[in-house]
Amino acid sequence: MERIRSGTGVSGPGYHTAFLHVDDDGWDEDAAARLEHRAQCLAEHDALVTLLGARWGEPQTISLWSAQERMMSGEVIPDPWAETVAGCEFFRLWHIEERWIALGLCLEDDGPGCELTVVVTEIDPP
């Protein structure tokens, strides 16, 4: 199976990534609207962590900083992790029945942009 991209996600062998909240048009709005979208994204993230935590227990929190550094040094990081390394600084992670469920919150350092991503994969995190 090859990699397939849709408007709401990316699928490949052993994984599916869904983009739950993407704020890519934020720069066309005024500052107040952009901040409101960011606050909504943060609230959605926190609500999902609470709901998934109630179902599967407390998540692990992993940083992908070291994986990003390793990629920059030439190491091959497998998808879906390679796709998410650049955008999300950390993930909330649950390991359920041989699958990883990862919830990522990607925040722009220099702006109000925000992306909420979920990954379901059989591939171990880097």
> Is residue 80 reached through a cis peptide bond, with omega within 30 degrees of 0 on the bond before it?
yes
pLDDT score recorded for residue 99: 96
126, part of any domain = no
56, part of any domain = yes
Domain count, the chain: 1
What is the percentage of the chain residues whose pLDDT exceeds 90? 41
CA nearest 126: which of 50, 71, 46? Answer: 71
pLDDT tens, residue by residue, 78-120: 989 888 877 777 899 999 999 999 999 888 766 667 888 999 9
CA nearest 88: which of 5, 20, 15? Answer: 20
33, part of any domain = yes
Task: Residue 104: give the domain boundaries.
Answer: 4-121
pTM of the model: 0.83
CA nearest 112: which of 28, 19, 31? Answer: 31
pLDDT tens, residue by residue, 1-58: 455 555 688 889 999 999 887 766 555 667 788 788 888 888 999 999 999 999 999 9
* CATH, residue 115: 3.40.1460
What is the percentage of the chain residues whose pLDDT exceeds 70? 85
Cα(120)–Cα(5) distance, integer angstroms: 15
